[in-house]
Amino acid sequence: MLSLPEFADLLSARARRSIKRGQTHAQKKLLAKVMTHKKRIKTHSREMVIIPAMVGQVISVHRGNEFVDVHVESEMVGLRLGDLVLTRKRGKHSAPGIGATKGTSSASVH
């Protein structure tokens, strides 16, 4: 099993710098919960880098208005939790509005 500094040397520069700089209070709290192998862990810490100890866990990451479950797999190691949970929804367009086409340019708005 690799120690955290040894593991950091295998990552990209951004993730390596984040790990070597140390964790915030929220990230330390999340790591403590991961080490106790709780069933479902809720967190707001989207900037946490996924480490090998998290593989196999279900982590609920806050998205802004709700928590989204992330089933951590070995391919996700080195990514951040926020990379896996998107905060913006796709814009849906149904029909053109009034004035968008020649037929509706003279329509009156009530």
Residues of the chain with pLDDT under 50: none
* Structure tokens given for 74: 């070995």
Q: Model confidence over 3-16: pLDDT tens digits?
A: 877 888 888 888 88
Give the N- to C-terminal CA distance of the chain in Å, as an integer: 69
Give me the sign of the Cα torsion angle 73, 75, 77, 81: negative
Q: What is the pLDDT of residue 109?
A: 61
Q: What is the pLDDT of residue 8?
A: 84
Q: What is the pLDDT of residue 70?
A: 93
Write the DSSP string, 27-85: HHHHHHHHHTT-SEEEE--TTPBP-GGGTT-EEEEE-SSSEEEEE--GGGTTSBHHHHS
Length of the chain: 110
Cβ atoms of 60 and 38 within 8 Å: the answer is no
Domains and CATH numbers, the chain: 4-84 (3.30.860.10)
Q: What percent of the chain has pLDDT over 70?
A: 93
Q: What is the pLDDT of residue 89?
A: 80
| The overall pTM is greater than 0.75 | no
